[in-house]
Amino acid sequence: MKHFFIILSFLFFASCGPNISCDSSDTLDILEDSIEYYVLNDDYERGFRFGEAIGLSLFTDERYTAYIDGTREIPDPKYKIKNIRVKNYNKRTNSYSCAAELEYKWNDGLVKNLKMLKNITYQVEETTEGDIYVSNLFGF
């Protein structure tokens, strides 16, 4: 019984720290904050992603003129991080090299069910304080 309490208390304290992995909720929160700050919070970036998704050649179509001349605001995309993969794990440093797909979706009065998929990569590491550090974000 004594061993049971020791194991139980170890599991409790071990679970209090952040979960260092490619798909932990802590890691996904940091990725989502980065996407919202660097992409969705910037009109140019939103417009660039939208233009890329519909194909810049289609952007001159009459259907899209309102977006070009500014009479209709470019819609904010909904996004989802999916197909998360571990590319490499360094046991010595407890760090992960990760890859995933970032799916943007737009749906408004003119554009229906438009999707764009971007391949992203990132590194997840543990700091000396035991926190999660996400670096080397590429692809979005």
Q: Tell me what the mean pLDDT of segment 104-125 comes to.
A: 90
Q: Tell me what the mean pLDDT of segment 66-94 comes to.
A: 90
Q: Are 71 and 63 contacting, i.e. CB atoms less than 8 angstroms apart?
A: no
Residue 50 token pair: 């939208």
- Tens of pLDDT, residue by residue over 46-66, are 888 888 888 876 667 777 788
The count of other CB atoms within 10 Å of the CB of residue 107 is 12
Continuous H helices in the chain: 2-14, 25-35, 43-54, 65-68
User: From CA 51, how far away is CA 75, in angstroms rounded?
Assistant: 11
User: From CA 119, how far away is CA 130, in angstroms rounded?
Assistant: 28
- Tens of pLDDT, residue by residue over 19-48, are 889 999 999 999 999 999 988 888 888 888
Residues 36-75 as b or e (16 or more Cβ within 10 Å = b):
eeebbeeeeebeebbbebbeeeebeeeebeebeeeeeebb
- pLDDT of 9 higher than 70: no
Q: What is the mean pLDDT of the chain?
A: 82
The domain segmentation of the chain, as residue ranges, is 20-138
| Domain 20-138 annotated CATH 3.30.70 | no
Q: How far is CA 11 from CA 26, 60, 61, 89, 95, in A?
A: 19, 59, 59, 23, 21
Residue 18 token pair: 């952040």
- pLDDT of 129 higher than 70: yes
Amino acid 29: pLDDT: 94
Instruction: Please state whether the predicted TM-score (pTM) of the whole model is above 0.85.
Output: no
